[in-house]
Amino acid sequence: MAKKNLVYIWSLRNAAADRAGRYIDYRGERRYMMSPLEYLAGELNNSALGDKYSLKAVIYDDDKYSPKDCEKLEGYGFYPSGRAPWFFPKELEVQGEKLCDKLCSVPSTYRRYPMNAPERLTGKQIFEKALHDKLIELEADLVVLDGLLVILDELVRPGSLYRGRIVNIHPGITAPDSPYQRRGAYATLDALYGARGEKVLNWETMEKVSITPVLKTGASFHYVDNSIDSGEVITDVLNTEISSEDTIFELRWNNFHNSLFPALTRGLKIMAQLENESLLDLASAD
């Protein structure tokens, strides 16, 4: 059976916040912070996932003309160059090709405008159209989002071409009925406060209330809709213990290795199986 074309979309500024590709302090030692993308490259090279998917491109939405994005990417830049380490080793290959050569920029320049500016809405539509056209050009079968710091609208509306073909790997449990639910950009920090017996009600004012400590977190692989981490869960993994003494980077490292990486592998296997079952159903109908 032919491999499915896989496209990966991320925000470099989110990976920079994780210190991806760098060594972090970890309980008195140093550990390498591997990004989900670098992990995925290894899986495509060394596991059965490589027989099911072909990585066509890695799209990032960061804007090189945005002072804010430039500041967040200080020390990394928008493309691997020079001697400074990047988000993954510059020589890293995936399925026989250099991963660097698969990088593709589709900048979300609309973020330059204030929230209520009409140019922002128009710009968002232009961005999604550019993203849509790039996915068509790449003949994408499945799109994986990882730390994409924008909310998609047109691309995931009912009836759109990519509805049900865009998924997200999220560092938290997103199921609505779970006591471990951690949605949104603050999922890891939310879990860390939860382990310390606190719930942050407002991240701007840091208003908090006391709660019973929650000492576990996980990761979810879910469909993307036009809200924040609210799409149907395909699979999740709840396998990360939290210590109240953890730093944000220690918890992030633990959650990547114990929950998020396994959820990413399992989710991609499930999507490949669902695709195979659909093809078999079509063949049976004929």
DSSP line for 42-91? HHHHHSTHHHHEEEEEEEE---TT-HHHHHHTTTT-SS--SSS--SS-TT
Side chain identity at residue 43, one-letter code: E
Distance CA(251)–CA(216), nearest Å, equals 10
Mean pLDDT over the full length of the chain: 94
CA angle 248, 180, 238 (to 5 degrees): 80
- 69 pLDDT above the threshold of 50: yes
**170 touches 188 (CB < 8 A):** no
Domains and CATH numbers, the chain: 4-175+218-285 (3.40.50.170)
CA angle 17, 43, 53 (to 5 degrees): 105
Closest CA to 219 of 177, 267, 171: 171
- 174 pLDDT above the threshold of 90: yes
Tell me: the pLDDT tens digits for 111-133? 999 999 999 999 999 999 999 99
**14 touches 65 (CB < 8 A):** no
Confidence of residue 282 (pLDDT cuts 50, 70, 90): very low
- 27 pLDDT above the threshold of 80: yes
- 279 pLDDT above the threshold of 50: no
Exposed e or buried b for every residue in 167-177, given b needs 16+ CB within 10 A? bbbbbbbbbee
Closest CA to 145 of 37, 274, 276, 266: 37
Confidence of residue 274 (pLDDT cuts 50, 70, 90): confident
pLDDT at 85: 87
Q: Which two tokens stand for residue 155?
A: 């691309």
Q: Tell me the sheet residues that pair with 59.
A: 9, 104
- Range in 81-85, 100-104, 126-130, 248-252 with the lowest mean pLDDT: 81-85
Token pair 């079509």 in the structure block, residue: 282
Tell me: the pLDDT tens digits for 225-263? 999 999 999 999 999 999 999 999 999 999 999 999 999
- 280 pLDDT above the threshold of 70: no
Closest CA to 43 of 2, 113, 95: 95
